[in-house]
Chains A and B, each alone.
Chain A
Amino acid sequence: MEIKVLAFGIVKEMLSHSSVTVALTEGATVSELTLVLAEKYPAIKNLSSFAIAINGCYSTADTLINAGDEIAIIPPVSGG
């Protein structure tokens, strides 16, 4: 399945786009998405950390990804 991934802040600059599309197998988890992203966009490995949000909520490594989910890469936050 094709998954659209939103990018914000420094990740948007690293990817040169506010969103990218990656291919995942059906039933993929967040940890698989993280591996695919790191391979396709090695710059994100320079971040001190990043989280993946699914439908506006922080996910864990074993969270399942479904077609149509709103996925976002969340680099370290720095609001306030």
Chain B
Amino acid sequence: MNNTIDIKISAAPLHTQACIDWAMSPHCGGIDVFIGTVRNATKGKNVIRLEFEAYESMAVREMTKIAAAASAKWPIHKILIHHRTGVLYPGDIPVIIVVSAAHRDAAFDACRYAIDTLKQTVPIWKKEVFEDGEVWVAAHP
């Protein structure tokens, strides 16, 4: 961890503005922000809530690897990845990724890489709870 990478798994609500403020710097020409939000439906079924669980120590390690790889691959200034755990409701924010860079192409590319890779490698799981049942996302064929 260094002062250009900020990684956090949190049971408490994420603070979008504080995340942006952390990435802000006079060196930067732009900040790219991805905010994941809880959608109120999956395949036409109403979602009541999502329950997120993390293998925290490994998740932090994998998120740090993503941030380090993005920093090596693109000329970015700072990268922040924060993820919630626990029970979230439609409109709540499970994930925030913020990337600042001198030029926007690097910020956009690094931000997309970070969320796409997070969804493939970081040991965090969500259960969707519907009115008539629940399912761990992606668990079954």
* A interface residues, Cβ below 8 angstroms from B: 6, 8-10, 12-13, 46-48, 53, 56-58, 72, 74-80
Contact across chains for B94 and A80 when beta carbons are under 8 A apart: yes
Q: Would A53 and B139 count as touching, CB distance under 8 A?
A: no
> Given A8-B125, A9-B127, A10-B125, A76–B57 Cβ distance below 8 Å?
no
B65 to chain A, nearest CB (A): 10
**Chain B at the A interface: mostly helix, strand, loop or mixed?**
mixed
Contacts of A75 in B (CB 8 A): 125, 136, 139
Q: Out of B54, B127, B136, B140, name the residue touching A79 (CB < 8 Å).
A: B54
Which of A6, A74, A80 sits near B36, CB closer than 8 Å?
A80
| Closest chain A residue to B116, Cβ basis | A80
Which B positions have Cβ atoms within 8 angstroms of A? 36, 52-55, 57-59, 61, 83, 94-95, 115, 118-127, 136-141
Of B83, B136, B141, chain A has the most CB atoms within 10 Å of the CB of: B136
Output the nearest chain A residue to B61 by Cβ-Cβ distance. Answer: A56
Docked CA distance A8–B56 (Å)? 11
B57 and A79 contacting across the interface, CB-CB below 8 Å: no
* Chain B residue with the shortest CB-CB distance to A70: B57
Question: For the complex, what is the distance from the CA of A76 to the CA of B125, rounded to whole Å?
Answer: 8
Residue from A12, A13, A47, A72 in contact with B58 in the complex, judged by beta carbons closer than 8 Å:
A72
Most chain B C-beta atoms within 10 Å of own C-beta, residue among A75, A78, A79: A79
**In the assembled complex, how far is the CB of residue B13 from the closest CB belonging to chain A, in whole angstroms?**
17
- Chain B residues with Cβ below 8 Å from A76 are 138-139
Selected A-B contacts with CB under 8 Å, 21 pairs: A8-B53, A9-B125, A48-B140, A56-B61, A74-B123, A75-B136, A76-B139, A77-B120, A77-B121, A78-B125, A78-B139, A79-B52, A79-B83, A79-B94, A79-B95, A79-B118, A79-B119, A79-B126, A80-B83, A80-B94, A80-B124
